[in-house]
């Protein structure tokens, strides 16, 4: 079985730019229901959903969300470095 970092990275790298930007904006802003929307969006992928479901408590769950957010940020920076530097 693949390491979870590899699974998350592969998922994020394969996202279309619009979806990646959608997630990045919501992780970056964190206004109102942003986190709920990102979790709902991400949970549509069975591997990510299993990753979230494996959390034993709230701290582990939010650490899982933060891990995905870090991969989203790295990928958006890779694709559009000027976008992040001006945000």
Q: Where are the domains of the chain?
A: 4-79
- As to burial, measured by CB atoms within 10 angstroms (0-12 exposed, 13-18 middle, 19+ buried), residue 68 is buried
Whole-prediction pTM value? 0.86
CA distance 81 to 83: 5
Task: Kindly report, residue by residue over 24-78, the tens digit of the pLDDT.
Answer: 999 998 888 999 999 999 999 999 999 999 999 999 999 999 999 999 999 999 9
d(CA 41, CA 83): 22
Q: Give the per-residue pLDDT at 31.
A: 86
More confident residue, 50 or 86: 50
Q: Which residues have a Cβ under 8 Å from the Cβ of 13 and sit 6 or more positions away?
A: 75
Q: Given this model, what pLDDT does residue 85 score?
A: 52
Predicted confidence at residue 50, as pLDDT, reads 94
């Amino acid at each position: 079985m693949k390491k979870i970092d590899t699974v998350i990275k592969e998922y994020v790298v394969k996202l279309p730019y619009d979806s990646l930007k959608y997630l990045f904006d919501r992780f970056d802003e964190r206004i109102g229901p942003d986190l709920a929307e990102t979790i709902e969006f991400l949970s549509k992928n069975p591997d990510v959903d299993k990753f979230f479901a494996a959390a034993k408590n709230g701290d582990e769950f939010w650490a899982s969300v933060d891990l995905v957010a870090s991969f989203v940020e790295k990928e958006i920076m890779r694709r559009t470095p000027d976008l992040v530097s001006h945000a």
